[in-house]
Chains A and B, each alone.
Chain A
Amino acid sequence: MPGRLDIVKTYKLYVNGAFPRSESGRSLKVTNTDGAVIAHISHASRKDLRDAVAGARKAACGWGRRTAYNRGQILYRMGEMLEGKSDEFAQVLKSTTGENLRVCRKEVATSVDRLIAFAGWADKYAQVLGCNNPVAGPYYNFTVPEPTGVVAVMAPDEPALLGLVSLVAPALCAGNAVVALGSEEHPIATSLFGEVCATSDVPAGALNLLTGKREELAGWFAEHRDIDAIHGANLEDELATKLRCGASENVKRVTVREVDDDAWLEPAECESPWWIEPFVEMKTIWHPTGA
C-alpha cells in the first residue's frame, strides 16, 4: 500500500474565466498509448459552446479596445506562464501521444515562442496590413484593421498544444475573443492551457477552451450566429465543407488551413501576419481636408 495517494487533477472546460464541468454532465475517457485510462475530461455540449460564445461576445469589445501594447504584454505573459509549466505540458503530451519527451518538449517550447511572436505582432500588424490611400481628391483616406469579433477555433488533433496555440494566438492578438475546441484525441493539453490563460491577465471570456467531439460540435460552430469567423486546421474535407456551408448563413469568415507536421514548427509558416489578416475587418475612413 502506497504511503500517500496521489491527488489527480480534474480537467475541466475554461469558459468565461472560470473552470466549469460540462453542463451536460458528460465526460470522456483519456487513454495513454497502452490504452489505459489516465484521465477524464469534460465532454462539451452545444450549451457549453453557447455559454462560451456568450462570454466571448461580452469580452470581445473590451479586449478589442485594449491598447495593442497591452494585448501584446498579455500574450507575452501567456508565453511566460507556459514556459513555467513546460514540464507538466511535456509530460502530458508524452503520455497521451506516445512521442518521446524530446519531441514533446520541442512542441511546448515552440508553443511558447509562437505566443511571443504574436505578442510582438499585436502592436505591429496594423502597420503592415493598414495603409493610407492617395485618393484623387481633397480627402484624407486611410484603411485600418479592426478585430472581426468572436472567432471560433477548431484545433487539429496533432500537435495538440502547438496546433491550438498557433490558431488561437493570431486571432487573440488582433483583439478578437476566441472560443476554441481543442484536440479531440489529446485533450488534456487544452484543459491545461486554460490554466495558463487564467494566470496571465487574459480577461474573462476573451479566450474560452472547450474539449469534446469535433463532429458533434462542428455544426453548432458553423451555425452559431454570434460567431464571426472560424479558424481551423487539418480538418477532414467533409467537416470543412460543413463548416463553410453553415457559415454562409451569417457570412462567417472561414479559414481552414492545411499544415504539415513539420510546418507547425516553422515560424515562417505559422507566424506571418497572414495568420492574423483573416480575423480583422479593414475599415476605410474618409475625411475632407478642405478648410
Chain B
Amino acid sequence: MPDDTPNGHHATAASEMRANGEAATRDAKPGRRIGGSAGTSSSGGHELSFGDAWEYAPAPESTKVEIADRYGHFIDGKFTRPGATFATINPATEKKLAEVGLGAKQDVNRAVRAARAALPKWAGLKPSERSKYMFRIARRIQERARELAILETMDGGKPIKESRDIDIPLVAQHFFYNAGWADKLHYAFPGRAAGTVKPVGVCGQIIPWNFPLLMAAWKIAPAIACGNTVALKPAETTPLTALRLAEIFEEVELPAGVVNIVTGDGSTGQALAEHEDLDKLAFTGSTEVGKILARTAAERGIRITLELGGKSPNIIFDDAAIDQAVEGIISGIYFNQGHVCCAGSRLFVQEGIVDEVVAKLRIRMQSLRVGDPLDKNTDVGAINSKMQLERIEEYLEIGASEGVDVWSANGSLPDRGYFCRPCFFTGVQQSHRLAQEEIFGPVLAVMTFRTPDEAIVRANNTPYGLAAGIWTEKAAKIFDVATRLKAGIVWCNTYNKFDAASPFGGFKESGFGREGGLQGLKPYVRL
C-alpha cells in the first residue's frame, strides 16, 4: 500500500476513523484516501452509522479439522511416504499447517506412469459404472463439506462463508454434473454414435491457488467422466484440500491410478508439463505461464487447454439499478480478495452517475469486514501468500506513481497474516498499468464513459477476454452490449456467478477451451 500520508496525518486520520465508527488495532494508516478529494458520502448514498455502539462479536467456525504433520503424494491409489517436503502455511496467521511433498521429477514420472497404466481399464469401463464412481465422489464431498471448507479457508485464506457456501458446494456439483455425462457423451456431440466418443488419454493438469479444490474439480471431473486419467499438480500454497480429495478417492475405491496428485512448486509443475508421456495438458493460471506451456505443448504435439488471466470490465450504465450495481461491483472485485481470474477489475461507469456510484461504493465498502477468514462474518479474508501481497502492494505503488487517486475503507487489520484493505482507484486512464495488467487482488480501477459504443470499445481494449459485467435495466441494451463484448462469460445484472452446468473460459489471451457445461467436455474427448 503506498503511503504518501505523512506521519503527521496520523492523528487526523485516526479521528476521521472514529467519526466513521471504525476502530483500528493494527496500523495508523486508516482513512486510506491518498490524494483524491471527496470525503465519505458526497452525493447519492445514505449511511447508517451507529458509532461505537455495537461491535461485531467474532463468530469463529468452531469445527476442528485434523491435519497431519506431513503429507506424501497420491500416486497409484496410495499416499507415498513423504520425502523432500515444504511447508504450507495459513496466510491468515503465518503459521505452518503441514509439511507437504515437494514433487521431483521421479514423483511426476511415477504419477504419469500410474495414470498411463490405469488408462485402458478406466477408458474401457462401462460408462455408467464410471459415472457411479463419480456420483460416489460427489456424495462424499457433500458429506465432508464442512471439513473441506474449513481446510480450504485455513490453507488459502478465503472467508469461510465463501468456501462453505460457494467453493465446496460447487466442487460437489461439478462431480455430480460430470458424473451424469459419462454415459451420455454421444448426445453431447451431434452425429456421434454411442461408444465412439473416446478419451484423449493421460492428462497433466496444473491448477492455481485461488479456488484450490474447485479448480481441482473443474479439471478432474470432466477428464475422468470422459474416460481419461489424470496427473494433477495443486498450487504450491494450497495443496491440502486436493490431498483431502485424494482421501475421498480412496474411500470410494476409485481405481488406482485414475487420479494422481503430486504436490510441489513451480519446478514440479514444469516437470509435469514437460513429461513425455502426456496426451494433454490443462492449465489454469497466469497468461505468462500459460504461454510457456502452450509452447511446451506445441513442441510435443499434444493438446492443451488454457484458462488464463483477465482484466474484466464491469460496465454500469446510467439506467442501471444503482444499489444492485454497487453490490455487483463489490462481488465483482472483492470476492475472494480479488483473487479471481474473471474479477471485474475494470469498472466503467457512465459519466452522469459516477459521483453517485463512487459515493455508494465508499459507503458499502466501509461495511466490508476484512479479517480472520474463519470468522463467519468476514467478507474479505487473507491474501493467499506473502508473495501475492507484495505483488499487490507493488501495484498500489504503481498506481500512486501514475498519479491516480486511491481510496480504501477504514478499519482494523489483524496483527498477523497477509491482509490488504479493499480499495479502488479513480481517475484511471486506459494507458495506466492499473487498467491494463491483472493485479489479482482487491484493487479496482474506476473509469468513466459517455456512450455504449465507447464503453464497448474500451472494455474490449485489452489482450484479455475472460468475462464482463453489464448493468442496465434495459434488456435490449444488455443483449446488444453482450453480443459486442469480446469475452467468454458475460454477466448481466449480476457478477461472479458459477455453475457446473455453465461453461467457463475466455476469448483472446484469456485462454481457450471451456470448463463446465456441455462445452467443457470437448477438451477431454477425441471425436
Interface residues of A (CB under 8 A from B): 68-69, 72-73, 76, 113, 116-117, 119-124, 127-128, 138, 140, 267-268, 271-273, 287-291
Contact = CB atoms under 8 A, between A and B. Distances in A.
B172 to A, nearest CB: 10
A140 B476 CA distance: 9
| Secondary structure type dominating chain A contacts | helix
A121 B180 CA distance: 7
A128 B187 contact: yes
B269 to A, nearest CB: 33
B175 to A, nearest CB: 12
A73 B183 CA distance: 17
A121 B132 CA distance: 14
A273 B183 CA distance: 12
B483 interface: yes
B452 interface: yes
Contact of B483 (A73, A122, A289): A289
Given A123-B180, A127-B188, A289-B476, 16 more contacts: A68-B501, A69-B176, A69-B501, A117-B180, A120-B179, A120-B180, A123-B177, A124-B180, A124-B184, A124-B501, A127-B501, A128-B518, A267-B128, A267-B183, A268-B194, A273-B187
Contacts of A290: 476, 480
A122 B176 CA distance: 11
A172 to B, nearest CB: 15
Interface string B107-128: 0000000000000000000001
The 3 A-B residue pairs with the shortest CB-CB distance, nearest first, are A120-B180, A289-B479, A140-B479
21 contacts: A68-B501, A69-B173, A69-B500, A76-B135, A116-B135, A117-B184, A120-B180, A120-B184, A122-B180, A123-B180, A123-B500, A124-B181, A268-B194, A272-B187, A287-B479, A289-B479, A289-B480, A290-B476, A290-B480, A291-B474, A291-B476
Given A113-B128, A288-B476, A127 B184 contact: no
B179 A127 contact: no
Nearest to A271: B183
A116 B517 CA distance: 19
Interface of B: 128, 131-132, 135, 173, 176-177, 179-181, 183-184, 187-188, 194, 452, 474-477, 479-481, 483, 500-501, 517-518
Contacts of B188: 127-128
A289 B194 CA distance: 39
Contacts of A124: 177, 180-181, 184, 187, 501, 518
Contacts of B181: 120, 124
A119 B179 CA distance: 10
Contacts of A268: 194
A120 B173 CA distance: 11
Nearest to B177: A123
Contacts of B131: 116, 120
A273 B452 CA distance: 42
A290 B479 CA distance: 8
Contacts of A273: 187
A116 B132 contact: yes
B475 A119 contact: no
A123 B501 CA distance: 7
User: Of A76, A121, A127, A291, which is in contact with the most chain B CB atoms at under 10 Å from its CB?
Assistant: A291
Contact of A119 (B180, B501, B517, B518): B180
Contact of A287 (B173, B475, B481, B501): B475
Contacts of A128: 187-188, 518
B479 A117 contact: no
A127 B176 contact: no
Given A117-B128, A128-B518, A72 B180 contact: yes
A278 to B, nearest CB: 16
A193 B86 CA distance: 54
Contact of A72 (B128, B176, B475, B517): B176
Contacts of B481: 291
User: Of B176, B475, B483, which is in contact with the most chain A CB atoms at under 10 Å from its CB?
Assistant: B176
A288 B179 contact: no
Contacts of B132: 116
Contacts of B184: 117, 120-121, 124
Contacts of B475: 287
Contact of B476 (A72, A123, A287): A287
Nearest to B180: A120
A272 B479 CA distance: 33
A127 B183 contact: no
B353 to A, nearest CB: 17
Given A116-B131, A128-B187, A128-B518, A291 B180 contact: no
B171 to A, nearest CB: 13
Contacts of B474: 291
A127 B518 contact: yes
A224 B48 CA distance: 58
A271 B186 CA distance: 12
Nearest to A122: B180
A76 B138 CA distance: 11
Nearest to A140: B479
A273 B179 CA distance: 16
A291 to B, nearest CB: 5
A128 B180 CA distance: 13
